[in-house]
């Protein structure tokens, strides 16, 4: 039951609260470039979700089985060349970035071949955007988040298993799709408006995206509220303490906002306290 | 080859006429993410400059060995190597800043700017041209990051590089250091640059 709640909280976190576009700013290039009409945006979102899930699956597997110290495959092979104890300490995480980008490029290649064979009209409508998914920050970001939860945790029991990793990747893609489809819907209307010439195109998209980011900021704190509501076996006081610590912005290692962003939230709280209302 | 820009022309082009953020709309993810403070923005710009210079240099040196089908993969792996180096250097010598920048340093690997420069310039030009192109583009990128970061930090915290520039009675526009402020600042600055460039064209 706790596992299911955990998965659900990761899913809601990745899709809405820590939305990849409006909170982490990854995947901006397709957000601005592809969101012209709703059908194409939806197709792009589905493609990104698909590639993200595949890439997350493969990269989690490689990270857990080969890269981290004490991984089964690397320590097994290392045992042929050194003592078993030393082989447990082989740490290949320095290769993570290179391996992840290789995995992503291959995933995109496979998806491209699959789409070209089975959905040729879709392939033609995508054009050059399908190979461009390789340079989509969102996919590499999902892999890096998973890596930080697998190899960056101090306690090996806290390391994410495959279910959590796939949940983050899939629902991160869902959140990306939501954001890009909403933007496409707005842009279809925006095409009919009288926008000043310097702002046509990317500039007005960014401003509207800012207003959407305001809207998505309303989801802050939903995670800890849900966790409090759904966790039955913790005593209430302990949960209260945990959740106020979590609300300060550190839900996990990579979900921790950069220090300046946390400072921004402190400024918000400070203003709320000191302003005369 | 007389119609190709000279190295000096490429260098100057990269700063404003072909500015990577404002004219080509490349590399927007870090521009929105790390521009809360000038220090983070300048560090990110320096990291991108390092990776861009090294990747351009290496790509230009191996340009005659590239097979057409595999060139993007080769660029990406080269860039990934240099980003790993930059990331480890940053974690070793500027640990706090490395924590602040977080996942955005490895995301330089998929920064469209670097792949685009490798594809468009470095894979076809000799080394010196590639280096001057990289230098111009990274200078332009740094200027773009600094402009957004300057606005966000001054309006959002009243400080610039940690030094207070606005009086203490300034009510900090907290939105500027949060995600919506990033989008709106970049959108308005982009509109301003478009207006300025469009003016000369009339």
Q: Confidence band (pLDDT; 50, 70, 90) for A212?
A: very high
Residue A56 has pLDDT above 90, yes or no: yes
* Averaged pLDDT, B105-113: 90
Residue A91 pLDDT? 83
Pick from A23, A103, A89, A20: nearest CA to A59: A103
Out of B29, B76, B180, closest to residue A101 by CB = B76
Residue A266 has pLDDT above 60, yes or no: no
Number of neighbours of residue A17 by Cβ within 10 angstroms: 23
Q: Scanning every residue of chain B, which has its alpha carbon at the shortest distance from the alpha carbon of A29?
A: B28
Which of A158 and A63 is assigned the larger pLDDT?
A63
Cα distances (angstroms) measured from residue B38 to each of A205, A260, B92: 25, 11, 21
- The Cα angle at residue A19 between residues A58 and B117, in degrees rounded to 5: 65
CB distance A218 to A23 below 8 Å: no
CB distance B76 to B114 below 8 Å: no
Residue B88 pLDDT? 93
Residue A239 pLDDT? 47
Q: Scanning every residue of chain B, which has its alpha carbon at the shortest distance from the alpha carbon of A96?
A: B84
* Averaged pLDDT, A98-106: 90
- The Cα angle at residue A18 between residues A13 and A24, in degrees rounded to 5: 150
* Averaged pLDDT, B173-186: 91
Question: What number of C-beta contacts closer than 8 Å exist between A and B?
Answer: 166
Chain-chain contact of A217 with B178 (C-beta, under 8 angstroms):
yes
Predicted model pTM: 0.84
Each residue's pLDDT tens digit, A73-99 = 888 888 888 877 777 778 888 888 999
Chain-chain contact of B180 with A210 (C-beta, under 8 angstroms):
yes
Whether chain B has a CB inside 8 Å of the CB on A141: the answer is: yes
Q: Is A25 left (phi over 0), alpha (psi -120 to 50) or beta?
A: left
Q: How far apart are CA A45 and CA A121, in angstroms?
A: 17
Contacts of B21 (CB under 8 A, 6+ apart): B27, B28, B31, B140, B141, B144, B145
Q: What percent of chain A has pLDDT over 90?
A: 23
Residue B188 pLDDT? 94
Residue B158 pLDDT? 85
Each residue's pLDDT tens digit, A214-248 = 999 988 888 888 888 877 655 544 444 544 444 44
Contacts of B74 (CB under 8 A, 6+ apart): B59, B62, B66
A232-246, A258-272, B86-100: the lowest-pLDDT one: A258-272
Q: Scanning every residue of chain A, which has its alpha carbon at the shortest distance from the alpha carbon of B182?
A: A210
Each residue's pLDDT tens digit, B6-65 = 778 878 877 888 888 888 888 888 889 999 889 999 999 999 999 999 999 999 999 888
Residue B5 has pLDDT above 80, yes or no: no
Helix (H) or strand (E) holding B159: strand B159-160
Mutate to test the interface with B, among A21, A27, A28 (most CBs of B within 10 A): A28
Q: Scanning every residue of chain B, which has its alpha carbon at the shortest distance from the alpha carbon of A100?
A: B80
- Joined together, the tokens standing for residue A146 give 């998973």
Q: What percent of chain B has pLDDT over 90?
A: 44
Q: How far apart are CA B19 and CA B139, in angstroms?
A: 9
Least Cα separation, residue B159 to chain A (angstroms): 12
Mutate to test the interface with A, among B90, B92, B102, B196 (most CBs of A within 10 A): B102
- Which residues numbered 226-265 in A keep a CB inside 8 Å of some CB on B? 254, 256, 258-261, 263-265
Each residue's pLDDT tens digit, B124-154 = 888 888 999 999 999 999 999 999 999 999 9
Q: Scanning every residue of chain A, which has its alpha carbon at the shortest distance from the alpha carbon of B155?
A: A264
Least Cα separation, residue B50 to chain A (angstroms): 17
Which of B4 and B41 is assigned the larger pLDDT?
B41
User: Which residues pair with residue B159 across a beta bridge?
Assistant: B164
Q: Confidence band (pLDDT; 50, 70, 90) for B117?
A: confident
Residue A240 pLDDT? 47
Out of B102, B177, B187, closest to residue A204 by CB = B187
Cα distances (angstroms) measured from residue A110 to each of A11, A106, B33: 26, 6, 31
Give the residue carrying structure tokens 């998965």: A7
Using DSSP's 3-state secondary structure scheme, residue A91 falls into: coil
Sequence spans of domains, chain B: 13-201
Each residue's pLDDT tens digit, A7-22 = 988 999 899 988 999 9
At CB < 8 A and 24+ separation, what contacts does B88-94 make?
B88/A94, B90/B43, B90/B47, B94/B43
Mean pLDDT comparison of A27-31, B28-32, B68-72, highest-scoring range: B28-32
Q: How far apart are CA B168 and CA A137, in angstroms?
A: 38
Q: Confidence band (pLDDT; 50, 70, 90) for A127?
A: confident
């Amino acid at each position: 039951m706790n596992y299911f709640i955990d998965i659900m909280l990761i899913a809601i976190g990745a899709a809405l609260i820590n939305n990849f576009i409006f909170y982490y700013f990854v995947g901006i290039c397709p957000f601005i470039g592809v969101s012209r009409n709703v059908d194409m945006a939806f197709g792009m979102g589905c493609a990104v979700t698909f590639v993200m899930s595949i890439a997350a699956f493969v990269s989690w597997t490689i990270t857990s089985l080969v890269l981290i110290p004490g991984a089964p495959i690397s320590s097994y092979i290392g045992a042929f060349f050194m003592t078993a104890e030393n082989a447990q300490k082989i740490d290949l995480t320095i290769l993570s970035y290179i391996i992840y980008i290789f995995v992503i490029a291959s995933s995109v290649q496979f998806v491209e071949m699959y789409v070209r064979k089975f959905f040729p009209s879709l392939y033609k409508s995508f054009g050059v955007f399908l190979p461009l998914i390789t340079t989509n920050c969102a996919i590499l970001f999902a892999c890096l988040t998973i890596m930080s939860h697998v190899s960056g945790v101090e306690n090996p029991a806290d390391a994410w298993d495959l279910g959590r990793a796939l949940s983050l990747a899939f629902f991160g893609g869902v959140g990306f799709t939501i954001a890009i489809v909403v933007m496409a819907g707005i842009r279809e209307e925006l095409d009919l408006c009288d926008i000043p010439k310097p702002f046509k195109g990317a500039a007005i998209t960014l401003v509207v995206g800012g207003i959407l980011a305001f809207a998505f900021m309303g989801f802050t704190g939903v995670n800890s509220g849900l966790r409090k509501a759904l966790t039955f076996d913790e005593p209430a006081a302990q949960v209260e303490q945990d959740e106020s610590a979590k609300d300060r912005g550190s839900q996990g290692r990579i979900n921790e906002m950069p220090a300046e962003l946390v400072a921004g939230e402190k400024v918000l709280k400070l203003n709320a306290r000191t302003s005369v209302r | 080859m007389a119609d190709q820009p000279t190295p000096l022309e490429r260098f100057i082009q990269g700063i404003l006429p072909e500015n990577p953020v404002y004219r080509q709309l490349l590399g927007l993810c870090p521009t929105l993410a790390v521009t809360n403070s000038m220090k983070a923005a300048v560090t990110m710009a320096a990291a991108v400059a390092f990776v861009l210079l090294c990747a351009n240099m290496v790509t230009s040196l191996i340009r005659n060995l590239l097979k057409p089908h595999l060139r993007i993969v080769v660029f990406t792996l080269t860039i990934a190597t240099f980003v790993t180096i930059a990331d480890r250097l940053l974690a070793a010598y500027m640990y706090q800043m490395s924590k602040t920048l977080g996942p955005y340093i490895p995301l330089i690997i998929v920064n469209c700017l670097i792949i685009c420069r490798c594809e468009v310039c470095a894979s076809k030009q000799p080394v010196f041209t590639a280096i001057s192109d990289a230098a111009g583009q990274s200078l332009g990128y740094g200027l773009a990051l600094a402009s957004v970061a300057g606005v966000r930090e001054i309006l959002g915290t009243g400080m610039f590089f940690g030094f207070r520039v606005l009086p203490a009675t300034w009510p900090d526009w907290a939105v500027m250091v949060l995600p919506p402020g990033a989008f709106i600042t970049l959108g308005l600055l982009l509109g301003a640059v478009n207006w300025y460039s469009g003016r000369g064209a009339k």
